[in-house]
Amino acid sequence: MLKNQFVSRAAMAAALLALPTVALADNDADMARILDEGMNRSQVQQVAHELLDGVGPRLTNSPNMRRAEAWAVQEMRELGLDNVRKEGFEFGRGWESTGSMMRMVGPRPVDLTATPVAWTPGTNGVVEAPVIIAPMSKVAHFDEYRGKLAGKIVLISIPGTGEEPTSVPFKRLESSDISKRDDYRIPEYDPDRFERFLKRRNFALEADKFLQSEGAVAWAKVSYREGKLLHGTGYTYKVGQSPSLPGFEIAAEDYRRIARIAKTGDAPTLSFSSANRFVDDDTKAYNIIGEIKGSDPKAGYVMAGAHFDSWAAADGAVDNGAGVVTVLEAARILKTMGVKPKRTIRFALWGAEEQGLHGSLAYVRQHLVNRAGEADLAPEDVSTYWNTLFPIQPKPGFYDMKAYFNMDNGSGRFHGIHSEGNAAAEPLLRKWLSPFKQLEAGNVVQAKRGGTDHVSFQRVGLPGFQFIQDPLDYFARLHHTNVDTMDHLRPDDLRQASVVMAGVLLNAANDKDTLPRQPLPQQPSATNPFEYDYPETD
């Protein structure tokens, strides 16, 4: 059994600190029981240990992700959830790296901090080559380096000068921080934003073809954070579009040292290797879904989710193991209580979020809406172009989905919910959060949050929301990095978040009222400036 690979929960539970009993101010018996179960008998540390220490990184379609999927299915079944299933969707190649190294061997020996870039090929052994500093971020830069790259490892980033921190990296939200989010942002019309996004995404393959044609042996980029942090993020996962050359990310401090030496003397020589391989046996990625069935089959369902995949440089703890264990703990709390909600409560662990919200998009396509012309899209183009198609046509299941709540901003405690500009939804959201004011989780703010799975629902007018969370050091140093391990989870915060999530779900499932929907988005124009959530930087 898969569970035999992990430390038993009984042994883990014995090591937990004694937890205080917490009481609610109101008299709602269900909410009091949620607090008691979630605060005094929490399983978040044990579940996090199994997933993060036991399974580890979960790069989409990697062998480790397949282990994680099997673990999640078993976990949901052991919780007693109904209709546990995997829902597949076309994605592309898997990839894994089983080891790498990089050293400067001249003009002096230095061990370098570096990692392979995901979905780049391996080196087939140790390679030794001189560097050349050749910054390039667009095709127009290629001409400057023609005839100069043969036999070199090409450093394609501008080195920069480095920055010392000027603010504390670990932060809790104050009331003033939360109030700043309570404003309505007027949508902007930017007709060129999507084209800029496509150019950035396509440049990696254009650069690979150019470097290969010039005879380069590998390329490297600089880490975008200081402090020897690495990321290794990459996007060229599509079958038939994999790069030809090994790629590395080098820690900023090491990268700048190499660049300084190269500019003031002989080019440094690097020795490097990477044992990478592509995995093509199953090109589908998967969402893992389970539910607590509602008593009224006509009442629809409410839903909570978190993305299950991670990048490969570490164990994907705060991004997004924290969300995964919170969703599973909310499910455990409600199942332990034996609740019989009116509406079904559905729990989802999304696949392939890091490469463009693929999993939640696949759910929306399968269950909720169609878009004009989507049948003409090739599978590898769906995530890029599907959201640009209009009009949107609801499926019958569109009206069954009453609310979606997402967690994907680290392991910080909840302070409430972003209403995503849906002012009409705020009274109900406040009502559902009201039992948790003592936990400082009663806030509802207007601001929109982007870049994660609730966006897939918002894009088609459905009530999808992201919780307000303490940032801690999520964006400062953990997000996508090689130090994103279980050490940086905050168990007390995750207990609080699990309690709030479970309570909100149960309130939403039993309330006679449902959240108002936004109008279906229409084709963007200067007079209808619906905003796409395509990032300006990757």
Instruction: For residue 226, give Cα distances in angstroms to 118, 157, 163, 222, 288.
Output: 20, 15, 7, 10, 35
pLDDT interval class at 536 (50, 70, 90): low
Give the lowest-confidence range in 62-71, 178-187, 512-521.
Answer: 178-187
Residue 24: what pLDDT? 36
Q: Which residue has the higher pLDDT, 524 or 131?
A: 131
Structure confidence at residue 531 (pLDDT):
66
Give the pLDDT confidence score for residue 17 in this predicted structure: 35
Share of the chain above pLDDT 70, in %: 93
> Residue 149's pLDDT is what?
98
Q: How confident is the model at residue 125 (pLDDT cuts 50, 70, 90)?
A: very high
The pLDDT tens digits of the residues spanning 474-488 come to 999 999 999 999 999
Confidence of residue 183 (pLDDT cuts 50, 70, 90): confident
- pTM confidence score: 0.93
Residue 340: is it exposed, middle or buried by C-beta count within 10 angstroms (0-12/13-18/19+)? exposed
pLDDT confidence of residue 34: 97
Give the tens place of pLDDT for each residue, 409-446.
999 999 999 999 999 999 999 999 999 999 999 999 99
Where residue 151 falls (left for φ over 0; alpha for ψ -120 to 50; beta otherwise) is left
| pLDDT tens, position by position, 361-381 | 999 999 999 999 999 999 888
User: Of the ranges 135-139, 179-183, 353-357, which one carries the lowest mean pLDDT score?
Assistant: 179-183
Please list the residues that pair with 7 across neighbouring strands.
none
pLDDT value, residue 532? 63
Q: Is the pLDDT reported for residue 510 higher than 60?
A: yes
Q: Average of pLDDT values for 17-35?
A: 60
Give the per-residue pLDDT at 255.
98
> How high is the pLDDT of residue 533?
64
- Residue-wise pLDDT for 301-342, tens only, equals 999 999 999 999 999 999 999 999 999 999 999 999 999 999
The DSSP string of 214-263 is TT--EEEEE-SSSSS---------STT---SS-EEEE-HHHHHHHHHHHH
> What mean pLDDT value characterizes the chain?
92
Is residue 420 classed as helix, strand or coil in its secondary structure?
A: coil
Would you put residue 352 in left (φ > 0), alpha (ψ -120 to 50) or beta?
A: left
H or E element in which residue 65 lies: helix 63-79
Judge whether 228 and 250 are in contact, CB under 8 Å: no
Q: What is the DSSP string of 127-193?
A: EEEEEEE---SSGGGGGGGTTS-TT-EEE-S---------S-S-BPPPHHHHHTT-SPPPP---TTH
Listed in sequence order, the residues at least 6 apart from 461 whose beta carbon sits closer than 8 Å to its beta carbon are 392, 517, 518, 519, 520, 521
Mean pLDDT of 243-258: 97
Res 275 pLDDT > 90: yes
User: What DSSP character marks residue 268?
Assistant: P
pLDDT digits (tens, 9 = 90+) for 28-68: 799 999 999 999 999 999 999 999 999 999 999 999 999 99
- 33-47, 113-127, 188-202: range with lowest mean pLDDT: 188-202
In this structure, are residues 477 and 225 in contact, taking their beta carbons and an 8 Å threshold?
A: yes
Q: Please give the span between the terminal C-alpha atoms of the chain, in angstroms, as a whole number.
A: 39
The string of pLDDT tens digits covering residues 209-244 is 999 999 999 999 999 999 999 999 987 898 888 899
Question: How would residue 529 be classed by pLDDT, with cut points 50, 70 and 90?
Answer: confident
